[in-house]
A and B are shown apart, each in its own frame.
Chain A
Amino acid sequence: MTITDAPRIVTARLGRPRSWTLASYLEDGGYDGLRKALSMTPEEVHEAVNVANLLGRGGAGFEAGRKWGMLAEATPVYLVINGDESEPATFKDHMLIESDPHQLIEGALICAYAVRADQVFLYIRGELALGLERLQVALNEAYAYGAVGRSILGSDWSVDVVVHPGAGAYICGEETALLESLEGKRGYPRIKPPFFPAAVGLYGAPTIVNNVETVSNLPWVVREGGDAFAALGEGRSKGTKILALAGHVRRPGNYEIEFAKASFRDLIFDPRLGGGIAGDRDLKAFIPGGVSSPWLGPEHLDVLLANEKIAEVGTMAGSGAVTVMDDTTCSVRAAWRIVRFFHRESCGQCTPCREGGGWVEKILRRIEDGQGRESDLDLLLDVCDNISPGVTWPPAQTTICVLGPSIPPAPASAIKMFRDELYEHIREGRCPFPPDRLPRSMARA
């Protein structure tokens, strides 16, 4: 059995009664990590995170310690926590914010201390009303407790934290769009270079942007040490990762698993995890790392859950969202819905993304509706090639951000893995899967 007895790091407190309150957090040793960090120098905290080799959990998997090391010397420095979680089928940060807001605040403070941030913004997806309320209560509590604000926990270090709601725009998860949004503007991703907000960020000042799950690891890393973290997992992928498992499994949910020790098969079929395909149907395909990632099939079930292992088979671990599709799933409908999402959420700055997404969506829809043409597969690939030349992985980029290049993987996967199924739609003039039509009146927006 490959499911290890590694400790849960970020979800340890889940399910505790009223886990979101300060009282409950303190019972479990809450803010001890921060206390310990304050007894160290910022450099020592930074070094512990380097040793831990904590990879960013927001999608790109960039080493947190290395990112902090790229910070330009200037004042002020800002820390922005990315809690905009909107990648379809990803629901881990939502859970962390609602059920353990103090862990997030403590993690953000440790990060702020290590990078000597002057102010911290927790940018939280606007739709997470309960999360925003719990986080604001927690922050009020943390101020009153003395963990935030002036002379934190009796030390001579002070910092302020602000909870900032978004307002419904997937693109604001992209870090430069997020910063624009935090400046009160439309969420347009910024032209690169500069590539890293660590050089030019919020109001032009050096800014660290880290994901909610990334910093939620920090209290544990500081308490137990970078070595203890690095002892878990393998290769580049150290520690544990929350996998958001959804789709046709018996037990969808968030599962925190040690990196590199379990496979997709374990995640999907282990009775303690996904519990197998619902209704005892067969696995058709799964999306391994959020809807921007190329799909995998049953032949890839033994790939280990680690960033580099998943990259080796031509896709990515991304945000850790694994979506399972059984043999009743129409690949055209699935690809269409994913592309429709990107088309809807495109900010519109770049032609390949703004126009290409709409084209691909329309072609897929007409195939699904039984109006497809034999030439449509080539047409799809041609449009995809115009969005991201070569339709390779990792994708080539013609656009300001990688939302555009996220459009081709789903249709390209459907064509590559289920070409016959697409032709069947076209030749039979209808979708072979029940129900055979998407409701006509829908999905027009």
Chain B
Amino acid sequence: MARLNPDNEQRARDLIALYPHPRSALIPLLHLLQGQDGYLTPEGMEHLGELVGLEAAEVRGTASFYDMFHTEPVGRYLIAVCTNIACLLQGAYELLEHAQQRLGIAPGGTTADGMFTLEDAECLALCGNAPCATVNWRFFGDLDRARFDDLVSRLASGALDAEVPPHGTLCRVRRTVGVPAAGSSVHGAGGPRAEWHARNGSGPAVPPEAARPGAPADGVADGVELDTAATTQAVAALGRADGGGRR
């Protein structure tokens, strides 16, 4: 696949409709494209350019600035091992060295079967659970060699498929309401957004929700029940139930 498929193209139009200027949607669109193909193809970037009114080179110019975007194929699982200061102090380089041996690749490399890419990453904001890694941006903290091996085996066997989607998938939750739900174009009628949408035949994705004060919404999670057992121990550092450290 190369260009956005029809479903993703509609998602792209919905995203563009959220912003006062189409170009602002470019990074979310690049994530969408990367989610479709696992990396950014030239045809895909050209398609994004058509959608937001940019040359393909301008799209690539933006994409190439950002570390999360890959213009070459990467493995199904991108394992990013943090080696920054807090993790370094907890043995991150030893962990990375072990990861290299376990996977048989150097940082930046991909295994021959296309399953794993390894990265030597900057701080992942999980420093309370150092050393840590992300797999396709899902967090795994308090790693050691054994836990790393276990993680790799579980990924390879598909046991973590629900937790860790294939590389490129960022946010599995769709927005269920369009802009301007608030009912006013911030640029006024005829401003850049209205004009652009008139030209491109798009608009708010979903009609604005009526205000229902008092009643919690249900079913708005768009089908994704986020079971985060494996990844959220990460954030529960404050007031640890065990009242003590892990060492």
Contacts and interface: CB of A to CB of B under 8 A. Distances in A.
A, B from the same assembly: yes
A57 to B, nearest CB: 15
Interface in B136-173: 136-139, 170-173
Contacts of B100: 441
Interface string B210-227: 111101110011101010
A139 B175 contact: yes
Given A149-B209, A162-B19, A248-B89, A95 B220 contact: no
A76 B93 CA distance: 49
B24 A183 contact: yes
A91 B234 CA distance: 10
Contact of B122 (A94, A137, A160, A344): A344
A424 interface: no
B62 A250 contact: no
B183 A126 contact: no
A425 interface: no
Nearest to B213: A146
A183 B23 contact: yes
Contacts of B25: 184
B42 interface: no
Nearest 3 interchain pairs by C-beta: A253-B237, A144-B217, A146-B211
Interface in B181-203: 181-184, 186-187
Interface in A305-354: 321, 323, 325, 329, 333-334, 337-338, 341, 344-345, 347
Contacts of A247: 85-86, 89-90
B122 A170 contact: yes
B232 interface: yes
22 contacts: A88-B122, A91-B128, A94-B125, A99-B232, A126-B27, A127-B68, A129-B138, A132-B170, A137-B222, A140-B221, A145-B217, A158-B182, A165-B28, A168-B68, A169-B66, A182-B24, A244-B128, A246-B127, A248-B89, A254-B238, A442-B93, A443-B93
A279 B179 CA distance: 54
Contacts of B21: 183-184, 203
B235 A94 contact: yes
A439 B238 contact: no
Interface string A230-261: 00000000000000111111111111100000
Contact of B83 (A99, A337, A347): A337
A130 B138 contact: yes
Interface string B115-128: 00000101111111
A99 B235 contact: yes
B208 interface: yes
Contacts of A185: 23, 62
A98 B235 contact: yes
Nearest to B22: A184
B176 A140 contact: yes
B119 to A, nearest CB: 9
Contacts, number: 304
Nearest to A91: B125
B211 A152 contact: yes
Given A130-B138, A140-B222, A184-B26, A22 B217 contact: yes
B88 A167 contact: no
Given A129-B170, A143-B181, A167 B123 contact: no
Contact of B123 (A11, A250, A287, A341): A341
A119 B86 contact: no
Contact of A323 (B86, B235, B238): B86
A93 B19 CA distance: 24
B106 interface: yes
A15 B124 CA distance: 21
B134 interface: yes
A278 interface: yes
Given A140-B176, A183-B21, A165 B85 contact: no
A145 B181 CA distance: 13
A118 interface: yes
Nearest to B245: A250
A445 interface: yes
A168 B128 contact: no
Contacts of A411: none
A337 B88 contact: yes
A279 B28 contact: no
B128 to A, nearest CB: 4
Contacts of B28: 164-165
Interface string A150-167: 111110001110111111
Contacts of B61: 186
B88 A333 contact: yes
Given A158-B183, A275-B244, A168 B66 contact: yes
Given A136-B173, A149-B209, A183-B23, A127 B124 contact: yes
Contacts of A136: 171, 173-175
